[in-house]
């Protein structure tokens, strides 16, 4: 199956019951498939007038108790940033799929890129945590879509799934789990009566229970800084604890959220750090390099944000060089350089709508 199809099946397996979106290449197959499949199980599909409205509808559906998702590409992702910030501020679970294509602006709709990495982290204004995941295969597109929903519900936060056009449109064999066998995380419901409920109150997990609209709980939701009851506030003794808690709920669970795949990094003198479709080129380059007796390992980042600082710091202690291939002019390389130091990092970049090839990465491994 296609990567986009695997995303749609993953959303259904995770319990998605609402999709609102606007068609945009190269993500359109996700909308097409869910428009067909969601009504079969009682779910809702709405084609919206634009991407801003799409995410607004998803936020509303989530507040009403439905697991909700939208999908887009670079231009639409730019339009969604205001509501990503709103979802972060109001702590509303939702999943945003961004199938990256060449840009900026309209760019080339069917050409691959990885140019939205920094936008996924810093696209919306203000200080806020974010979770962003990136699959390298069709099967991982299914798995990480499920994970995105689970993280979103567990931590009451928007989660971004960053594909690139290569993974989204590639077809390969994918063994999917049996229906009903995947782990589904459901949001924690409140166990107090409506008059006691605080939608943003303290909790031991830093994630307050969430009451769904329409179940007898009436509370205030605003994009402004708010008190535990949800009403706007300018009191520092209410703003500071909220900011600290929202960041802490991600930071204290970093080992649950940050996922990487490591291959031969223990004794490697050179380590390739890659993600998305580029990780596939890296895997082949590493294989070729080992055939030439090079001591080389690979770290594949499945979680882009939060960044895998501990992993990079560990490999930096033994590796002499870290190679970062990307279909951009160097975005995640900035994070690797921040941890490892610029003198250790070798960038392999391409931002013209073509993939980084195994040969380009092999040349970097061999110091050419």
CA atoms within 13 A on the CB side of 342: 2
281-318 in b/e form (b: 16+ CB < 10 A) is bbbebbebbbeeeeebbbbbbbbbbbbbeebbebbbee
Size of the chain, expressed as the number of residues it contains: 368
Cβ atoms of residues 263 and 165 within 8 Å: no
Q: Six-digit token pair at 68? A: 């909700």
What the chain holds in terms of domains, given with CATH numbers, is: 3-169 (3.40.50.970), 259-365 (3.40.50.920)
pLDDT value at 368 more than 90: no
Cβ atoms of residues 55 and 21 within 8 Å: no
Res 203: pLDDT: 85
Tell me the average pLDDT of the chain: 96
Model confidence pLDDT, tens digit, residues 233-279: 999 999 999 999 999 999 999 999 999 999 999 989 999 999 999 99
pLDDT value at 89 more than 90: yes
Q: Which residues contact 95 (CB under 8 A, 6 or more apart)?
A: 11, 16, 67, 68, 69, 70, 145, 148, 149, 152, 158, 159, 160, 161
**What is the spatial distance between Cα 277 and Cα 112, in angstroms, rounded to a whole number?**
9
Q: What percent of the chain has pLDDT over 90?
A: 97
Indicate the pLDDT class of residue 149, thresholds 50, 70 and 90: very high
What torsion do the CA atoms of 115, 119, 120, 123 make, to the nearest 10 degrees?
-160
pLDDT value at 202 more than 90: no
Cβ atoms of residues 281 and 139 within 8 Å: no
Res 235: pLDDT: 97
The stretch 157-177 carries a mean pLDDT of 97
pTM comes to: 0.97
Res 179: pLDDT: 83
Model confidence pLDDT, tens digit, residues 329-361: 999 999 999 999 999 999 999 999 999 999 999
């Amino acid at each position: 199956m296609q990567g986009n199809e695997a995303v749609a099946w993953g959303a259904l397996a995770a319990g998605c019951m609402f999709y609102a979106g606007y068609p945009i290449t190269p993500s359109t197959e996700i909308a097409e498939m869910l428009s067909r499949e969601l009504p079969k199980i009682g779910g809702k599909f709405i084609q919206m007038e634009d991407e801003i409205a799409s995410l607004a509808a998803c936020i509303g559906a989530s507040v009403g108790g439905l697991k909700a998702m939208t999908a887009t590409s670079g231009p639409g992702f730019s339009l969604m940033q205001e509501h990503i910030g709103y979802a972060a501020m109001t702590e509303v679970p939702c999943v945003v799929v961004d199938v990256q294509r060449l840009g900026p602006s309209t760019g080339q709709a069917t050409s691959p890129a990885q140019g939205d990495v920094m936008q996924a982290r810093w696209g919306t204004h203000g200080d806020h945590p974010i979770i962003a995941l990136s699959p390298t295969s069709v099967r991982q597109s299914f798995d990480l879509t499920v994970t995105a929903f689970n993280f979103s519900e567990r931590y009451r936060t928007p989660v971004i799934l960053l594909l690139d056009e290569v993974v989204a449109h590639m077809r390969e064999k994918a063994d999917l789990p049996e229906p009903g066998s995947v782990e589904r995380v459901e949001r924690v419901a409140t166990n107090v009566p409506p008059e006691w409920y605080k939608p943003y109150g303290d909790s031991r997990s830093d994630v307050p229970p969430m009451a769904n609209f329409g179940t007898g709980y009436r509370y205030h939701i605003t994009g402004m800084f708010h008190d535990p009851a949800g009403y706007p506030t300018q009191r520092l003794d209410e703003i500071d604890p909220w900011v600290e808690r929202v960041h802490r709920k991600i930071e204290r669970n970093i080992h649950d959220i940050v996922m990487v795949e490591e291959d031969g990094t223990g004794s490697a003198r050179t380590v390739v750090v890659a993600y998305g479709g580029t990780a596939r080129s890296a895997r082949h380059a590493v294989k070729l390099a080992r055939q030439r007796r090079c001591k080389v390992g690979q770290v594949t980042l499945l979680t882009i944000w939060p960044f895998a600082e501990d992993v990079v710091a560990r490999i930096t202690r033994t590796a002499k060089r870290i190679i970062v291939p990307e279909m951009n002019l160097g975005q995640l390389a900035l994070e690797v350089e921040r941890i490892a130091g610029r003198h250790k990092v070798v960038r392999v970049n391409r931002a013209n709508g073509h993939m980084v090839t195994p040969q380009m990465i092999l040349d970097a491994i061999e110091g050419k």
